[in-house]
Amino acid sequence: MAVYNNTSAAGNVSWSSMDTWSTEYSSNSNISWRIVAQACIPADSVFPLTNNYSISDLLDEPILYGNVYRDGAAGSVRVSSGYLQNAAQSFSLKNNLFNETSTITIRVTATYPNYISGWYTATNKGGTQLAAGGTSTTQLDLNLTAATHTSVTDFYGHIEQGATYSSISLGYDGSSDQNACDEYNCGTQNTYYTDGSGTTWYNDGKHLAQNSNGSTAATAGHYSDGTRVRYWNGSAFSGFTSLCSPC
């Protein structure tokens, strides 16, 4: 996020600076300092309504400002700690006063089956990556302080489209192709989950899982749909696909 800091060394606080950081004003005319101050977080302790205060109270006070966006596939962004901001598709950061609340944490959350690739400074994974996700990351936090990401005004939590899993009935055996075929055709069929289809589940690059969201891989062994059989090593299919013989 961006941080605006009126330092004592720089002299008086500039009214025109509010165009840059204040969530309450976008022009320099008709500025109510009381409204600007009360929009800061936490206003109740720094600028209580019962007290008189002046713009000079902002000297040496690092102030948060900027915008947060959900980018890419379905999901949401929110503030997870520091102040209350519920899940949304985008929002403007409140003017947190870092001398009072030292860290604001923003969070991006992916909607199943999507996953998070990271936090970036531009849309579509553009600009600089601020935090990295991965194919198993469904939520990712980014801490904002007076000393981190101070020149960033826009934060994009990028979400990738994840694979959708469907159920499939297969025969299984830990040691033999033919035994797996026999289990399907003449024995016990079990339910598994694939990001492929009934005719592509065994292809290179397909994933076989024990649960419907694909997070738990199927046990290593031989799997068959009664016609075809292939070995799954616990993370990928290997070897050749073979045809089943009758029981």
Q: Quick one: pLDDT at residue 137?
A: 95
Q: Quick one: pLDDT at residue 200?
A: 95
Q: Quick one: pLDDT at residue 57?
A: 72
CA distances from 118 to 27, 115, 150, 167 (A): 34, 9, 18, 30
| Domain span at 195 | 166-243
Structure tokens at 192: 């598994």
Residues 74 and 10 in one domain: yes
- Whether pTM exceeds 0.75: no
Q: Quick one: pLDDT at residue 53?
A: 62
Q: Quick one: pLDDT at residue 52?
A: 62
| Ranges of the chain whose pLDDT falls below 50 | none
The residue from 160, 193, 227 where one domain ends is 160
The residue from 142, 160, 178 where one domain ends is 160
Q: What is the pLDDT of residues 187-238, one digit of tens each?
A: 999 999 999 999 999 999 999 999 988 878 999 999 999 999 999 999 999 9
Q: Quick one: pLDDT at residue 28?
A: 61
Residues 197 and 133 in one domain: no
Residues 95 and 198 in one domain: no
Q: Quick one: pLDDT at residue 35?
A: 76
Q: Which of 58, 62, 55 is nearest to 96 (CA)?
A: 62
Rg of the chain, C-alpha, whole Å: 27
Q: Quick one: pLDDT at residue 1?
A: 56
Which residues have C-beta within 8 Å of that of residue 2, sequence separation ≥ 6?
21, 64, 65, 66, 150, 151, 152, 153
